[in-house]
Amino acid sequence: MVNAGFLIFHGQKAATVFGTLVNILAIVAGSLVGLAFRGGIPLHYHQTVIQAIGLAVVLIGITGALKTQDILVVIFSLAVGSLVGESLRIETRLNQLGNWLENKCSQSGGGIAKGFVSASLIYCVGSMAIVGSMESGLAGNHQTLYAKSVLDGISAIIFASSLGAGVLFSAISVGVYQGILTMSAVLMKPYLIPLVVDQMSSVGGILIMAFGFNLLEIKKMNVGNMLPAIFMPLAYYMFQQIIR
């Protein structure tokens, strides 16, 4: 009986991080393909496929945005969350972190380290990783991470063909980073009612749409500064409970 409960518990944990596991496998598979065709993939193929994925990402965002009918809560969350993110300069700090790591990497000589750091930054420092991991942990919805997996897998082909085997090891960074985000969301889950989860998913869907617009180069948006908006429906619900 104990063994059965142990297996069920760990099975649930595996299901929770399934989107991240798919993401890891996509990066590994893409890296292996890229290493096999090193230096032989024209850039314009990559650009066209990224545009196609960008359209799919926008569609996923629209689907998520329609999770709730509480439009006022969504608008409030986006406005207040964006103000918080702007004041914290999240996008700028993420870019500074990326530039610092790249400089450290280039000073250390590159090679495997350069591919590892460069790919890790691209795969981890972005709204899609954060929103997707939160959705996986809160609602068991892996659609965003599935789309990210396709995008990362194709990118890995291009990166590995030019940067080498270091790109393959970036799958470790993705696993640790997104795994921590997902399990953190799981810890918050008991405090979330379905209404709040739908509101958070709706806000997350809009941010995913913005990320898709960035991929399509329609309009450059500082999605990183909007990330706190995801947590505003939860903060609003908790505030309501306090004042009652």
Q: How far apart are CA 4 and CA 17, in angstroms?
A: 20
User: Count of domains in the chain?
Assistant: 1
In a domain, 241, yes or no: no
Asked if residues 206 and 82 have their Cβ atoms less than 8 Å apart, the reply is: no
Is 236 part of a structural domain of the chain? no
How crowded is residue 9: how many other Cβ atoms within 10 Å of its Cβ? 10
Whether 116 maps to a domain, the answer reads yes
Whether residue 27 lies inside any domain: the answer is yes
Inside any domain, residue 229: no
Residues 6 or more apart whose Cβ sits within 8 Å of residue 92: none
Going residue by residue through the chain (244 aa), what tens digit of pLDDT does each one get? Answer: 434 333 333 445 556 788 899 999 999 999 999 888 876 667 677 678 778 877 887 887 888 888 888 899 999 999 999 999 999 888 787 667 666 766 665 555 555 666 776 677 678 756 678 778 888 887 788 888 998 999 899 888 887 887 778 888 889 889 988 998 898 888 877 777 788 878 888 888 898 888 788 878 888 888 878 888 988 988 888 888 888 7
Assign 3-class secondary structure to the chain: CHHHHHHHHHHHHHHHCHHHHHHHHHHHHHHHHHHHCCCCCCHHHHHHHHHHHHHHHHHHHHHHHCCCCCHHHHHHHHHHHHHHHHHHCHHHHHHHHHHHHHHHHHHCCCCHHHHHHHHHHHHHCCHHHHHHHHHHHHHCCCHHHHHHHHHHHHHHHHHHHHHCCHHHHHHHHHHHHHHHHHHHHHHHHHHCCHHHHHHHHHHHHHHHHHHHHHHHCCCCCCHHHHHHHHHHHHHHHHHHHHHC
Q: Is residue 84 included in any domain, yes or no? A: no
List the domain range (segments joined by +) for residue 102: 12-68+90-220
How far apart are alpha carbons 151 and 161 in whole angstroms? 16
Residue 186 within any structural domain of the chain? yes
Q: Classify residue 108: in a domain, yes or no.
A: yes
